[in-house]
Amino acid sequence: MNEIPYEIVRSNRKTLALTIDSEARLIVRAPMQLGEDVIRDFIKKKSRWIADKQRHVRDYATKQSEFLLEDGENVLYLGKSYAVLRKDVQEVSTEGNFIIVPEKKTLEGFADWMKIQGDNIIRERVDYYANLMGAKYSSVKMSNAKRRWGSCGAGNTLNFAWRLVMCPQSVIDYVVVHELSHITYKDHSAKFWTRVATVMPNYREAQEWLRLNRKLMEVI
Ligand SMILES: [Zn+2]
């Protein structure tokens, strides 16, 4: 049998864990000292589970890449997956697990709606954290970026991808805190990360969420 390729992330954890990321890659989380032979044995034992998961992610990715804003399609909004429901209404709204979209709305019009929500929510969070952290920025703009979630330019101009509106609030907050921390530290030095962690001790969970869900956020 062919060996399954994997990426390994070592940490102070005590046990082995496998995850499949949004690009169907196998990520192995392992204790610092654990030998690669033990890891390969473990992967072999779990090969059926891995194949199932990877197939599922690939199928889902194909389906998602052809997002047409039709009934039953899924879209992420504030970290929750909603099923699209087209109705004869005027405004977009959410209801339980559904996102109600006017029949007349085009995909472009729906993206505009998402952008406006993103803009409102992100600006509110920037205000909140700038106050909390005593950070002085000069402006906030939304970008169309699909990978670059935020940036802090010369003169402390902040940019955020409106697609962040698909993330849970805690993830939006992390990106906001990250960019506001660049007002004091222009690099990714230890001091910078200490600053981020002071405001948001579990920021690594947000980074992980972004890594795992990046693909899903590119559908629109
Ligand atoms: Zn940065």
The domain segmentation of the chain, as residue ranges, is: 6-64, 110-218
CA of 180 to the centre of ligand 1 (A): 9
Q: Do the Cβ atoms of 183 and 156 come closer than 8 Å?
A: yes
Q: DSSP string of 100-167?
A: EEETT--HHHHHHHHHHHHHHHHHHHHHHHHHHHT---SEEEEE--SS--EEE-GGGEEEEEGGGGGS
Phi-psi region of 134 (alpha: psi -120 to 50; beta: other; left: phi over 0): left
Collapse the DSSP code of 26 into the 3-class scheme (helix H, G, I; strand E, B; otherwise coil) and give the result.
strand
Residue 142: the pLDDT is: 95
CA of 190 to the centre of ligand 1 (A): 12
Residue 60: the pLDDT is: 73
- Tens of pLDDT along 4-51? 889 999 999 999 999 998 888 999 999 999 999 999 999 999 999 999
Residue 70: the pLDDT is: 92
CA of 211 to the centre of ligand 1 (A): 15
pTM to 2 decimals? 0.72
Position 175 pLDDT exceeds 60: yes
- Tens of pLDDT along 128-169? 999 999 999 999 999 998 889 999 998 999 999 999 999 999
Residue 146: the pLDDT is: 86
Residue 93: the pLDDT is: 97
Residue 6: the pLDDT is: 92
Antiparallel, parallel or unpaired: β 157-161 and 150-152:
antiparallel
Give me the architecture of the 110-218 domain, per CATH: 2-Layer Sandwich (3.30)
CA of 185 to the centre of ligand 1 (A): 9
- Tens of pLDDT along 46-96? 999 999 999 888 877 766 567 899 999 999 999 999 999 999 999 999 999
CA of 188 to the centre of ligand 1 (A): 6
Residue 1: the pLDDT is: 52
Which amino acid is located at 202 in the chain?
A: N
